[in-house]
Amino acid sequence: MEFLEVLKRRRTTNGPFLPDPVSAEHQRVLVEAAAMAPSHFNSQPWRFVLVDDREKIEEVASISGESMTRLMEEGTFWKRYRPYFRFSEKEMEERRDGIFIDQMPSVLKPFRKQIFSNTGQAVMNRFGVPKTLGEDNRKLVAGSPLLLAVLLDKAEYRPGELSGFYSVFGMGAAVENIWLTTTELGMGIQFVSTPMEILENWDRIHRLLEVPDDLELMAVYRLGYVPEDQRRPTIDWSSRQRKRLSQYVFRNSCATPEQDPEGR
Ligand SMILES: Cc1cc2nc3c(=O)[nH]c(=O)nc-3n(C[C@H](O)[C@H](O)[C@H](O)COP(=O)(O)O)c2cc1C
């Protein structure tokens, strides 16, 4: 694939993967692509754990599903992420970021109007919506042939210091390399983020992966080959919407937004 085509096609896969294992060669290509990323003083502060052990994947899946149910039941998800939801096409068209509320999982659609209110929360709980979403999440993770944990060397990752910032920056570049490479290999990738939202569940993942004291666990992803026809999953928080140039690029100083190309 042409490089710019890969950039355009890269996306978050929120649906199921094929059950086929990720070949050893592709696993190697992914982590070698990661290592080509830039890092401060070539420190290469990233570490990766490739998880293809079925039992471990099932365990992470259970923790992820449970976390999703709890975040939805307790309303934490909505409180934490409300600013990212857009409520009309007009707002979406103006801001061109975030997630259009219409994109929400079908089980949530009936509650669209009250989703951020206490009443809406109570109704959703009564209808068992959090459990449905949790189970869907568990199945998606369990059905993934490969998980990838991303860690940082704590000698470099020192939050609050420049080195901490640099190592996160480098890690982002490494993860983007992996993300782009999945596109080239016919694979998909998605954050398994719910466990990190609940401290004790994140601790369970640490124990499962036997993370040593000198490493910081930063993220877990699920990966696999994508089927030809990708149906929209119940949980799809991703959005292809992008800001106009004038909303994020400036010319010579922050006072002059870049002009948008004509017709955009
Ligand atoms: C730091 C970070 C955290 C993210 N967290 C999640 C997540 O928890 N679940 C998920 O499905 N996608 C997650 N995403 C993916 C974004 O939702 C996605 O990139 C965005 O909606 C644009 O969609 P696209 O990647 O398909 O272009 C995350 C992306 C980043 C960079």
Domain that holds residue 228: 3-248
Q: Determine the distance separating the centroid of ligand 1 and the alpha carbon of 238, expressed in angstroms.
A: 6
pLDDT of 117 reads 84
In the prediction, which pLDDT does 166 show? 98
Q: Mean pLDDT of residues grouped by 10 in the chain (264 residues)?
A: 92 94 98 98 98 98 98 90 88 90 70 79 89 96 98 98 98 98 97 97 98 98 92 67 95 97 84
Residues near 252 by beta carbon (within 8 Å), at least 6 away in sequence: none
Report yes or no on 183 lying in a domain.
yes
pLDDT score of 55 = 98
Instruction: Specify whether the CB–CB gap between 226 and 17 falls below 8 A.
Output: yes
Q: Identify the residue whose tokens are 């929209």.
A: 232
How much is the pLDDT for 108?
73
CA distance 108 to 74: 15
Which residue has a Cα nearest atom 27 of ligand 1? 11
Q: Is 258 among the domain residues?
A: no
CA of 215 to the centre of ligand 1 (A): 24
The count of other CB atoms within 10 Å of the CB of residue 72 is 23
Cβ proximity of 68 and 132 under 8 Å: no
Q: Whose CA is nearest to atom 2 of ligand 1?
A: 191
**Residue 256 placed within a domain:** no
The set of residues, in sequence order, having a beta carbon less than 8 Å from that of 122 and lying 6+ positions away, is none
Question: What is the C-alpha to C-alpha distance for residues 232 and 198, in angstroms, rounded to an integer?
Answer: 27
> 152 in helix, strand or coil?
strand
Contact 53, 146 (CB under 8 A): no
Contacts of 52 (CB under 8 A, 6+ apart): 21, 22, 27, 145, 146, 147
Whose CA is closest to 147, among 80, 258, 244, 57?
A: 57
Which atom in ligand 1 lies closest to the alpha carbon of residue 239? Answer: 21
Q: Whose CA is nearest to atom 24 of ligand 1?
A: 11
Contact 223, 182 (CB under 8 A): yes
In a domain, 200, yes or no: yes
Helix count (H) and strand count (E) of the chain? Answer: 10, 6
The enclosing domain of 145 has a CATH number of 3.40.109.10
Q: What is the number of the ligand 1 atom nearest to the C-alpha of 194? A: 8
- Asked whether residue 254 is assigned to any structural domain, the reply reads no
Q: Separation of 12 CA from ligand 1 center, angstroms?
A: 6
Alpha-carbon gap, residue 197 to 77, rounded angstroms:
9
CA of residue 191 to ligand 1 center, whole Å = 7
User: Is residue 8 included in any domain, yes or no?
Assistant: yes
Position 261 in a domain: no
Pocket of ligand 1 (CB under 6 A): 11-12, 14, 190-191, 193, 237-240
Tell whether 262 is covered by a domain: no
Q: Best mutation site among 104, 191, 222 for ligand 1, i.e. most ligand atoms within 8 A of its Cβ?
A: 191
Is the separation of the CB atoms in 94 and 60 below 8 Å? no
Number of domains in the chain: 1
**Confidence (pTM):** 0.93
Atom of ligand 1 nearest to the CA of 236: 11
